């Protein structure tokens, strides 16, 4: 369902599936389960400054590991929608993460200890498909979303860390930002 790379050791990869998180330390040639039994994982990010810290999104919220994926704990305080479909981590301040759910985008500035909903202007029944952060300017975010009732949405952009959003394209595009 999702993959992430250790930015300090690019040969270390993590993969999340419906049932486990797996790790490879040899660029994908060999894999081992580091969290068998995880359920319905949909997103995975690695802390760029402390790569042993991982976050995974699932249909029951966000889980966090501080030991390379061996042990995990739920970090859902403030998440009023637990079906997390996408996660993104601020590369300059890894305590700041955004979670796209079936209802809203949530933000934490303390490593998942507390989340708060951001007003995207699309209402309460929004399904988020992707989130991207600009690594050169982490207050700029892109989200792909659609309101399930009115079909309003598309590709959204925030230039103020998620405080306000505008629709920049009417389709649900997956945005990738050039890091250079």
Three-class DSSP category at 128: strand
Query: What is the pTM assigned to this prediction?
Result: 0.89
In this prediction, residues 101-130 reach a mean pLDDT of: 86
Q: Which of 35-39, 98-102, 150-154 has the lowest mean pLDDT?
A: 35-39
Long-range contacts of 47-53 (CB under 8 A, 24+ apart): 47/89, 47/94, 48/7, 48/8, 48/89, 48/91, 48/94, 49/94, 50/94, 51/6, 51/7, 51/8, 51/9, 51/12, 53/94, 53/111
Distances (CA, A) of 68 to 24, 103, 111, 143: 11, 29, 15, 28
Cα(165)–Cα(42) distance, rounded to whole angstroms? 24
pLDDT tens profile 48-79: 999 999 999 988 899 999 998 888 899 999 99
Q: Which of 14-28, 30-44, 95-109 has the lowest mean pLDDT?
A: 30-44
Q: Which residue has the higher pLDDT, 173 or 33?
A: 33
Three-class DSSP category at 11: coil
pLDDT tens profile 76-92: 999 998 999 999 999 99
Instruction: Assess whether pLDDT exceeds 80 at residue 166.
Output: yes
Alpha carbon 150 to its chain centroid, in Å, reads 25
Quote the mean pLDDT of the chain: 87
Core vs surface per residue 121-131: b (16+ CB within 10 A) or e: ebeeebbbbbb
In this prediction, residues 125-144 reach a mean pLDDT of: 88
pLDDT for 34 equals 83
**Beta strands 153-158; 141-147: pairing state:** antiparallel
Which candidate, 21, 94, 71, places its Cα nearest to that of 12? 21
């Amino acid at each position: 369902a999702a993959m992430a790379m250790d930015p300090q050791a690019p040969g270390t990869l993590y993969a999340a599936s419906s049932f486990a998180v797996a790790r490879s330390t040899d660029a994908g040639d060999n894999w081992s389960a580091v969290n068998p039994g995880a359920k319905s994982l949909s997103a995975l990010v690695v802390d760029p400054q402390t790569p042993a810290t991982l976050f995974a999104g699932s249909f029951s919220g966000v889980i966090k590991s501080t030991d390379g994926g061996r042990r995990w704990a739920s970090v859902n305080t403030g998440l009023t929608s637990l079906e997390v479909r996408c996660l993104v981590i601020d590369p300059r301040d890894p305590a700041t993460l955004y979670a796209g759910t079936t209802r809203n985008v949530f933000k934490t500035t303390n490593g998942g200890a507390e989340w708060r909903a951001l007003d995207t202007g699309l209402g309460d029944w929004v399904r988020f498909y992707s989130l991207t952060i600009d690594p050169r300017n982490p207050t700029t975010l892109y989200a792909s979303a659609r309101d399930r009732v009115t079909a309003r949405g598309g590709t959204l952009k925030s230039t103020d860390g998620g405080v306000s959003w505008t629709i920049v394209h009417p389709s649900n595009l997956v945005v990738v930002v050039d890091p250079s």
